[in-house]
Amino acid sequence: MSAVSCAPDTPADQEPKDTQAAADCDASAPSAPDANTPAAEVRISDSLSTLAVGDVTGDGADDLVVGDPYGDAALLFAGPLSSELSEADAESLGSAVSDSYFGTLVAVADIVGSGTDDVVVTGYSSLEVFDGPVANSRHPVVTMSGIDEPMAVSLGDVDGDGVADLLVGQLGSVSGSSSAEGDLDSSQASIQVDAPPNFTGGWMAPIATGDIDGDGVGDLVVAEGPQVALFFGPLQGTVPADAAQILNNGPGASSVLLGDLDGDGTSDLLVGSRGQSTIYVWTAPVAGGTEPSASFAHISDPPESTEFGSDIAVTRSGNASVVALGDELADHDAGRVWLGRGPFCGAVDIDTAGSWVWPASGDSSFGSPLRFGDLTGDGEPDLVAGSMAERNSDGIVRILAGPF
């Protein structure tokens, strides 16, 4: 992977590394919240898997949905949240049919098109959509059959009709549906994207949706190993594999996020690689073959056991972009989250810019999953950070109050 730079005529490797990010872009350290005094925290009795944030009850306040696959459910915690919460404080969204590991993946967006966010929950071989406002409609509106071990879910409008679509990544393909009613069979999906021939590793997760070329229509990003495939919307029917434009992300890809880093309304692409020390950024408009425009990396002090990029989240706080990057630090039995306040460009040295957030617990795997949302109800984004390994792997979700 070649060096990255804000300006094509000023190669990053000719600039002093320790001053480059600040000089170019004024990236700064936000006031980091104390991970040991969260505004709220969720403790459930089974291992945490994934979480999502959105207003699924329709009252204007963000809510938290936590996957509980060992309880065969997703747990809805209606915001605003405070203090310590358990299963007793949640509404349980169970499967209409008995299914193992229902709650493995959760996602939230308005895919029904009613104006209120809906909840998507997957199990080992199932997917169901709970229509928002969920408090008034606990029964799923969609069950999707014919899927096998869904590995990723992304909700975004890739067919361009103005309503978010449901994209499901499974082995060898991504299936999409623009309809959110009835019983869907993934073999009859309205959008079908098969792996390009040069993707040999199985076309695994992760996937993401967002508008990365700035034409106003959502696009699909699928990462596999060192390659990232871009499918530009509108996507409908069977999408030919040669429609993919390819980016090379040298170290591999284990997390992909499309988020607006610079506030211009288009989605920038961040690709993390678990076990590596660099997260690469492509600033929209993105096309196949382009080099990353920025990176976040341990330039001055790379640890041996980094899990940097275990998850990624982006939000706007005030007039700036704020990025949260998880680093589970596997061998240190800990974990931490890097918070940086943009604008970002060039090679950002995370050891000299930004702030680290650490919990007191040593054995935590703090740093995945990560999301932003206003769960305290004060209008400012909060950081929602999971620690999978805490409490003998029952896990904790901390709500760390913004602004940042």
27 or 212: CB nearest Ca ion? 212
User: Taking a C-beta distance cutoff of 8 angstroms, is the pair 380, 399 a contact?
Assistant: no
* Rounded Cα–Cα distance for residues 335 and 363 (Å): 8
CB nearer to Ca ion: pick between 184 and 350:
184
Query: Is 349 near Ca ion (CB under 5 A)?
Result: no
Query: What binding mask, one character per residue, do residues 86-125 give for Ca ion by CB under 5 A, x or -?
Result: ----------------------------------------
- Rounded CA gap, 339 and 381, in Å? 13
At residue 87, φ and ψ (nearest 5 deg) are -55, -35
The burial class, CB within 10 Å (0-12 / 13-18 / 19+), for 9 is exposed
**Which C-beta is closer to Ca ion: that of 310 or that of 317?**
317
One residue of 24, 41, 63, 307 binding Ca ion per CB under 5 A: 63
CB 109 to Ca ion: min, Å: 11
C-beta of 122: minimal distance to Ca ion in Å?
Answer: 20
Q: Which is nearer to Ca ion, 160 or 250 (CB)?
A: 160
Minimum distance from residue 32 beta carbon to Ca ion (Å): 15
| Least Cβ distance, residue 61 to Ca ion (angstroms) | 4
Site string for Ca ion, 180-219 (x = CB under 5 A): -------------------------------x-x-x-x-x
Q: How far is the CB of 99 from Ca ion (least distance, A)?
A: 26
Task: Please identify, using beta-carbon distances, which residue of 153 and 389 lies nearer to Ca ion.
Answer: 153
Which residues are CB-neighbours of 285 under 8 A, at least 6 positions away? Answer: 212, 213, 214, 266
Interaction of residue 378 with Ca ion, rule CB under 5 A:
yes
Q: Are 325 and 276 in contact (CB under 8 A)?
A: no
Of the two residues 196 and 373, which places its CB atom closer to Ca ion in the complex? Answer: 373
Determine the Cα–Cα distance for residues 198 and 258; give it in Å rounded to an integer: 23
User: In the complex with Ca ion, which residue's Cβ is closer, 295 or 376?
Assistant: 376
- 223, 232, 243: which is closest to 266 by C-alpha? 232
Of residues 15, 41, 311, 374, which one binds Ca ion by CB under 5 A?
374
**Residue count at the site for Ca ion (CB under 5 A)?**
21
List, in order, residues 6 or more apart from 260 with CB less than 8 Å away.
Answer: 266, 267, 268, 314, 316, 321
d(CA 169, CA 185) in angstroms, rounded, equals 14
CB of residue 138 vs Ca ion: minimum separation in angstroms? Answer: 15
By CB under 5 A, tell whether 317 contacts Ca ion: no
The length of the chain in residues reads: 404
Q: Where do the H-state alpha helices sit in 166-321?
A: none
Q: Please give the residues from 43 up to 62 whose contact with Ca ion meets the rule CB under 5 A.
A: 55, 57, 59, 61
Tokens of 212: 């990365």
Given the complex with Ca ion, which of 89 and 394 has the nearer CB atom? Answer: 89
**Residues of span 130-169 touching Ca ion by CB under 5 A:** 157, 159, 161, 163, 165
Residues 6+ apart with CB under 8 A from 340: 27, 28, 29, 30, 296, 322, 323, 325, 348, 350, 353, 354, 355
Query: In whole angstroms, what is the distance from residue 367 CA to residue 365 CA?
Result: 6
CB nearer Ca ion, residue 331 or residue 378: 378
Residues in touch with Ca ion (CB under 5 A): 55, 57, 59, 61, 63, 157, 159, 161, 163, 165, 178, 211, 213, 215, 217, 219, 374, 376, 378, 380, 382
